[in-house]
Amino acid sequence: MDETFKLIKKIERLAEGKKNLRFMEVCGTHTVAIFRSGIRQILPSNVELVSGPGCPVCVTNDEYIDKAIEYSRRGFIVATFGDMLKVPGSHSSLSTTAAEGADVRIVYSPLDCLKLAKENPRKKIIFLAVGFETTAPTQAATVLAAKAQGIKNFFMLSAQKLVPPALKFLAGDAATKVDGFLLPGHVAVVIGADAFNFLAEDFKIPSAVSGFEAEEILTAIGSLLEQVDSGRAEVANDYRAVVKAQGNVAAKKILAEVYEVTDAEWRGIGKIFSSGLKMRDEFAAFDIERVEPIELERVEKKSACRCGEVLRGVINPTACPLFGRACQPLHAVGACMVSVEGVCAAWFKYGGGKFNF
């Protein structure tokens, strides 16, 4: 507690007399930790934390969900993490499709799908491979294991996203307007703190890699304020216990073996160049979109949901006309309210703003 008090006083001292500052966290776990620990409420009034596209479920676009639904309707067993079930597509969700009779199963690891494939040799198993650099190595390892074991009925529908290109997009987005980035510790464990150096070198934006305890987050906020105070921009590694400059070499090697970089669509943002992963040609037999491609009619979904602006840090969730009214966790309209790491879900659960219902 004494250390926390010292950090708060340090932040207050560094923030005194400064212009209004906006720092963005780009990790869903950070978003939840910040709300749960009440950090927003104890920061000086001129220091604002905004949430970026740090929830992998939230940034998965409609077309991907539509494809997953269509595969399930064609008799495939679709395996996914639980928080994907209620993510809205253009016209439905996986939970609705499952209620209609499709075989949609919750797994806790992509490796669970290999057992599922062996138990159902006449069925094709599709794992919904979403996530950032944190989970992608395990997904790559699962593909390698399937190949080594000669499993022929296991596939992935890939939609992994890469964080640095998204940060590059946000850093250059005039509407986002942030003065610093609270960098995701889990992602940095894999790709290394040096992977974010472009923020300081190209954009002159302060950043800090943070852990997930309250004191670790406050330490990182203090690092951002120190950079602002001294007029410098760097990548401060405030999670040195687990994050190294070059990251996890073994994990990056597995990623590079199975995947190559591609452009990717982000919900509410659009296409970000070189921000996704796709399987290399050597592993095409595990890529369901190459084994059995499907073409869907593109649907332009009209909604008052402002999830895209929330994910870019342009508005807070309470500025969305649906928030807390038509859109609540039990009947979510937007993806940001679905996942436990979603920005809107965190604001709703922990009371990030004053609601006027």
Angstrom CA distances, 245 to 35, 110, 181, 260, stand at 29, 28, 17, 22
Three-state secondary structure call for residue 129: strand
Mean pLDDT by 10 residues, the chain (357 residues): 89 96 96 94 96 93 95 97 91 94 97 97 97 97 98 97 97 94 98 98 98 97 98 98 97 97 93 97 98 85 86 94 93 89 92 45
Superfamily of domain 2-56+163-237: HypD, alpha/beta domain 1 (3.40.50.11750)
CA–CA distance, 23 with 178 (Å, rounded to integer): 6
pLDDT on residue 72: 97
- 281: tokens are 């040609």
| pLDDT confidence of residue 340 | 87
- What is the pLDDT at residue 2? 85
Count of CB atoms situated within 10 Å of the CB of 245: 13
Fold identical between 2-56+163-237 and 62-160+248-291?
A: yes
Per-residue pLDDT, 164: 98
Q: What is the full DSSP assignment across 299-344?
A: -----S--HHHHHTTSS-GGGSTTBTTTBBTTB-SSGGGTSTT-HH
Give residues with Cβ within 8 angstroms of 31, minimum separation 6. Answer: 25, 51, 54, 55, 341, 343, 346
Question: How high is the pLDDT of residue 353?
Answer: 44
Q: Tokens 């039990």, residue?
A: 330
Tell me the pTM.
Answer: 0.93
In this structure, are strands 104-106 and 125-131 parallel, antiparallel, or unpaired? Answer: unpaired
What backbone phi and psi angles, to 5 degrees, belong to 273?
-65, 140
229: three-class secondary structure by DSSP = helix
Which pLDDT score, from 0 to 100, does residue 356 have? 33
Q: Where are the domains of the chain?
A: 2-56+163-237, 62-160+248-291, 316-350
pLDDT given at position 78: 98
Helix/strand/coil (H/E/C) assignment for every residue in 2-26: HHHHHHHHHHHHHHCCCCCEEEEEC
CATH of domain 62-160+248-291: 3.40.50.11740
State the pLDDT at residue 1: 58
Contacts of 6 (CB under 8 A, 6+ apart): none
